[in-house]
Structure 1
Amino acid sequence: MPDILVLGATGYTGRLVTRYLQAHRDRGTFTFAIAGRSKSKLAHLVAELKLDVVNDVEVVEVDVMNDDEKLLEEVVKRVKVVINLVGPYWRYGTPVVRACARNGVHHVDLTGETHWVKHIIEQYDYLASKTRAIIVPACGFDSIPSDIVAHLSAKTLRAALSPSTPVGPSTEVGVGHETGVGVGHSASAFKWVGGMSGGTLESIMSALEEVPRDVLREGRKAYSISPVQGIPVPPPIRLLYTLPYLTPTAYGSILPLAPHDVATVQRTWGLLERYSSSSSSPSPQVASDSPQEAHAYGPEFTYEEFIAAGTGPLAAIRALAASVGFVVTFMCLRYFTPARWLARKVGPASGSGPSDLQLEKGLIQCTNITSSAPAPGREQTHVKTSLRGHGDPGYLLTAIMISEAALALLSPSTLPALGQKGGVLTPMTAFGDVLIERLEQSGRFEFESAVVTDPREESRKR
């Protein structure tokens, strides 16, 4: 029985995932199978990557698009983890999640469709928690980097505010247990070099053409997929962003990925808030000495992100222009069918992608500034967290992120206590530091997180 099933292996990202798993540093410790709907494309992938289908890699022909759920379930129940790369997920993803939830099989995917995540939470979160199936949407560029930087900043704040105070999931109040001081505002500025996949484009079109308007509207609401409602007015989307507490001022524009990333981070916050405030102890099926405990960010936590445009007046103008351009483009795609037709014509085709040389030239950089929540008689503490990834973030790094997430699921006893409980989770509630360490070991990612001085306070002292 294979450990991992790569579903949609013959697509462009699927080929990258298969190649990464085949050459993985721990290749001798796991087995995997590749699955797709085209026998000829599977054979081509086997030949291209020189896969040993006799003694090593299993090949499975399955079509999630033909509504044969019995066959799909038979395939899924034979593995421990499914890497689901078949999107748009609103169109094709639900039967796969259902099969995993029913059979206690773990599942990771690359969705950026908040409305679909909301749907599977409502339908399968309870079932998955009962079967111990760990279902983790958004394990690529959407939304692992965002979830990681918020997690690391909160962890650094926790160490700074209560370095010697032991805290547990049933006693902690926010980040600073003894003071009740938690995380306040958190903002991330992204810049990257890389392309958009055909799958991402098709997911956008699917949302605009197939998903009911009321479903989209519910998915766009603040805390739409969080089990806990946050502060009444979270940071709004705006045309010009700034990164707080840095000099010179860094400006930014609307990030198209932001709504789903923010929703994912909000779900992380909500899951931790609910788990940490619960008076009940962890399930008896979860080891009491779990290597990671759940720490709430605190009730005043808010998160936002944007595209970094640089510093100075020209950067502000560029950021404003980029935001206006995005709004105009989105409105055209939403309300004009010819605009969607044109986008499909000029956009990346499904299954296509950049060359290996182009993949290597890509990069991602994220700078996050997170502050402690304001408290009477206490100066705020500020943390700067940086993430750097070497490679195209939408393709190469995404393939690495989802692969390492899947491999982490093969050792569930090493995961955070909340992750071991199962259900529809987020990258940080499911994996925590385990995933961060795995990404560092890949040689493609670097992380830094440290307390920084508020330059405004320094100027007042001078």
Structure 2
Amino acid sequence: MATKLDAIIFGATGFTGEIVVDNAPEVLQGLTWGIAGRNSAKLENVLKVAGKKIGKDLSKIPIILADVEDENSIKEMANKSKVIINCCGPYRFYGEVVVKACIEAGTHHVDISGEPQFIDGMAVKYHELAKEKHAYVVSACGFDSIPAEMGVVFAERNFPGTVNSIETYWENTVDFKEGESKAMLHTGTWESVVYALSHAKEVIALTKQLKPKDYPELKPALKVRRYPHKVPTLESYFVPVMGGDRHIVTNTQRLWFENEEKRPIQFENYVGYKSLLYAIITPLIVVLISLLSQFNFTRNLLLKYPQIFSLGLISPDGPTQATMESHFFQMLFKTKGWTKAQSLSEQPKQQLWTRVSGRNPFYAMTGVAMLAVAKIILQETDKLPGSGGVISPGYAFAKTSLIEDLEKYKYGMKFEVLKLEA
């Protein structure tokens, strides 16, 4: 393969990888792309099945054999593409070898990791080298955390003044068919969560290394509402989400301050439950799972019996196609700040409500988002900050057309301005 492909989807035979391949012909139209993994026969079958779904012959799509246990094969893959779309997790175990190979080859890397230890660890270890090699490494490019990150970008673009804080309120609607599995996620996601929780202390040390010493103390401070509460126009009871989007958005705000001396935006995110009982019980279950993940024996039980500990939300088979298709989400963004006429020493008087919404967010939307960010890196490199680095999506794509691009696709996202209150 003399000429580099524009993109390679690595881990294409996995649950998420197959969905990424399904959406690649639409999103990567006009670009050259291939798929990679360990098993040639399985990779051929992925292309065959995807081709039948969309009515296209994908048999000519290049297949590259690569295995995280064989570092040379990963290096060879990285040298064959301009950007690697990495679907192979948990990234704590399988991610670094791909990131390192990509950076050394000067190849860009995007993934869907929501694992803060991996994300911050790669930034501490490889950010300077990535800049030197002009390679962009961007994690959290799926549902975790493109809607939140680009939702913050969209809110700030439409806020006529200076933003102090943003709170998000996430609601899900799923139409489960009678007798059908209630699973919403594949066990691969569960494994990533369990291992992230089991090493939560690592995040504190990594955050300390990354945070600038002159990072400002922001006032008025945004307080977390830890008890179930309601917000106007929405029916759910909302409670804080542990980790996830908040960590990524905070990283983005750190990068804006560190590189452009921009005032950071304070951020909190909440998830909604239709039942007050679920809003009370679910955080307690999360705390229990976090505790159980700290010890080898109980951690192994969590990994062995995901359906039991997740109350049926996690399955080795993943959600059914009908469940994924009936899953709708919306994130409401409450943005508070100062009008253009106000001094920042005053109390913020202005509030903007915006919304990000879409269908099949955990998988089809995640696939589309990861493909879209890879395409943006290739086509709008001049709009990305600096010359490379290990950075977050909200910082990487703030000045690009990613929002407009995501609105084009069947499984993209809708961005709306709802109301401005002065």
TM over 0.5: yes
The answer to whether the 8 Å contact 1:253/1:322 transfers is no
1:446 to 2:406 alignment:
no
Cross-structure match for 1:252? 238
Residue of structure 1 in register with 2:37 after alignment: 36
Structure 1 324/214 Cα, relative in aligned 2: closer, same or farther at 3 Å? closer
Q: Gapped runs of 5+ residues in structure 2?
A: 175-183, 308-313
Name which of 198, 210, 220 aligns with 2:187: 198
Given the superposition, is the C-alpha separation of residues 413 and 214 from structure 1 closer, same or farther in structure 2, using an over 3 Å criterion?
Answer: closer
Q: Does 1:269 align with 2:253?
A: yes
- 1:293 maps to what in 2? none
What's the counterpart of residue 290 of structure 1? none
Which of 381, 395, 399 does residue 429 from structure 1 map onto?
395
Q: Choose from 196, 201, 204 the match for 1:207.
A: 196
Spell out, residue by residue over 1:132-156, the C-alpha distance to the aligned partner (whole angstroms, 9 max, x if none). 1111000011111111222222222
Q: With structure 2 as the length reference, what TM-score do the two structures score?
A: 0.83
Q: 1:346 to 1:428 in 2, by over 3 A?
A: closer
Normalised by the length of structure 1, the TM-score is 0.77
Q: Which amino acid aligns with 1:435?
A: L
Query: Is residue 165–residue 267 contact of structure 2 (8 Å, CA) maintained in 1?
Result: yes
- Across the aligned residues of Structure 1 and Structure 2, the Cα RMSD in angstroms comes to 2.9
Shift of residue 88, structure 1, vs aligned partner: 1.0
Q: CA deviation at 1:20?
A: 0.5
Aligned length: 392
CA contact (8 A) 2:21 2:47 kept: no
Q: What pairs up with 1:133-172 in 2 under 5 angstroms? A: 133-157=135-159, 160-161=160-161
Q: 1:389 maps to what in 2?
A: 358
- 8 Å contact 2:27–2:372 — kept in the other structure? no
Equivalent positions of 1:347-366 (< 5 A) are 347=307, 348=314, 352-366=317-331
Q: Percent identity?
A: 25
Structure-1 residue corresponding to 2:310:
none
> Equivalents in 2 of 1:146, 1:226: separation in Å?
21
SS at match of 1:192: strand
Deviation for aligned residue 1:91? 0.6
- Residue 47 of structure 1 aligns with an amino acid whose one-letter code is K
- Three-state SS of the structure 2 residue aligned to 1:135 is strand
Match among 407, 426, 433 for residue 375 of structure 2: 407
- Report the alpha carbon displacement of residue 78 of structure 1 after superposing the two structures with TM: 1.4
Name the SS for the 1:229 alignment partner. coil
Shift in Å, 1:40:
2.7
**Runs (5+) with no aligned partner, structure 1:** 162-181, 278-295, 455-462
Structure 1 partner of 2:180: none
Counterpart Cα distance in 2 of 1:94 and 1:430: 20
SS at match of 2:5: coil
Question: Structure 1 stretch 84-93 or stretch 366-375: which is displaced more?
Answer: 366-375
In the TM superposition, what is the alpha-carbon distance from 1:239 to its structure 2 partner? 3.5
Tell me the alpha carbon deviations over residues 226-265 of structure 1, each in whole angstroms, 9 at most, x when there is no partner.
5573538975766325477x4689641232xx41311111
Q: Secondary structure of the equivalent of 1:410?
A: helix
Match of 1:240 in 2: 227
